[in-house]
Amino acid sequence: MRRFDLATPDNIDDCLKLLAERPAETKLVAGGTDLLPQMKNGLIKPARVIDLSGVPEVHVLAPDDGRGVRVGAAVTARQLERDPRIQSTYRSLAESGALVGSIQVRNLATVGGNICNAAPSADMAPPLVALDAEAVIAGPTGRRRVPMAAFFTGVRRTVLAPDELLLEFSVPAPGPHSGGCYLRHTPRRELDIAVVGVASQVTLADGVCTKARICLAAVATTPVRATAAEQALEGQRLTPQLIEQAATLAIEAAKPISDQRGSVEFRRHLVRVLTRRTLTTALARASA
């Protein structure tokens, strides 16, 4: 690895001060599982690295005054996979955490790193978008909140300014009679990257769908919501026929490319299949 200075602050204010000194040459490291390979192969060459592991604020995983849950940026994929609250109420997030890398990687890899790396295939992005989560961002002038649906601006690009850092996610509780699910397609079961990923989240009242969220990964430059499909579901009773219609509508939101992992046609097919499957599971969980 190319040489760099390492700063090890123990609070957010010191982090922000260090970041403000030379933001363009600085990288933040949390788990390091995306950053270190990029530094080892020379893709990025920061002069300074700031280690977030000693900053308590980014490790929070706690209820948010009854409104939902706060998930610190440095909470690991393995924590999300195993936390009982996340497993019961925010199931799609636990499912996506369980799919990242291997156990050895998941004990290091953080949700904030997965999001800030901003790969179109990031597994933890679709559940956060489908759960209407907000990113809480700290910067020199204070804090701001950005809906996850507006966080990504392109491949490896986000709304974060160079002198800002991602503090945590605020994830609202989906409420009673809600269910969610994240699925992805990979040729291998372990240690692979999504060819397509889909998160679905539905809420029911008296058997009618009051809210539907569908977010697709690896089919555009950023994770995208399938809004036409969502609208087809809201206000309706969710039948297998309606779910099939929504799954077909979801294809419209996908703008995939062909690459070594899958062709445009295959990815569009996967969007339909995975949307149908995630909606079916989300409905079953909401009805349970």
Nearer to other proteins, 33 or 89 (CB): 33
- Kindly indicate which of the ranges 133-141, 186-194, 250-258, 270-278 contains the residues binding other proteins, using the contact rule CB under 8 A: 186-194
Task: List the interface residues with other proteins, window 153-172 (CB under 8 A).
Answer: none
11 binds other proteins (CB under 8 A): no
Residues 247 and 279: beta-carbon distance below 8 Å:
yes
- Chosen residue from 19, 26, 28, 32 binding other proteins by CB under 8 A: 32
The nearer residue to other proteins, 189 or 206, going by C-beta atoms, is 189
DSSP annotation of 259 reads B
Secondary structure (3-state) at 246: helix
99 CB-side CA count, 13 A: 29
CB atoms inside a 10 Å sphere around CB 143:
11
Q: Which residue, 53 or 236, is less far from other proteins as judged by CB?
A: 53
DSSP string, 129-159: HHTT-EEEEEETTEEEEEEGGGTEEETTEES
d(CA 241, CA 127): 24
Under the binding rule (CB under 8 A), the answer on residue 186 touching other proteins is no
Strands 5-7 and 48-51: parallel
Rule CB under 8 A: is residue 208 a binding residue for other proteins?
A: no
- The reply to whether 108 sits near other proteins by the rule CB under 8 A is yes
Subset of 40-69 contacting other proteins (CB under 8 A): 40, 49, 51, 53-54
| Binding region for other proteins (CB under 8 A) out of 31-39, 233-241, 251-259, 263-271 | 31-39
What is the Cα–Cα distance from 275 to 214, expressed in whole angstroms? Answer: 8
Q: With binding defined as CB under 8 A, does residue 258 bind other proteins?
A: no
What is the rounded CA–CA span in Å between residue 275 and residue 181?
A: 10
Which residues in this chain contact other proteins in the complex, by CB under 8 A? 1-6, 8, 29, 31-33, 36-37, 40, 49, 51, 53-54, 78, 101-105, 107-108, 189-191
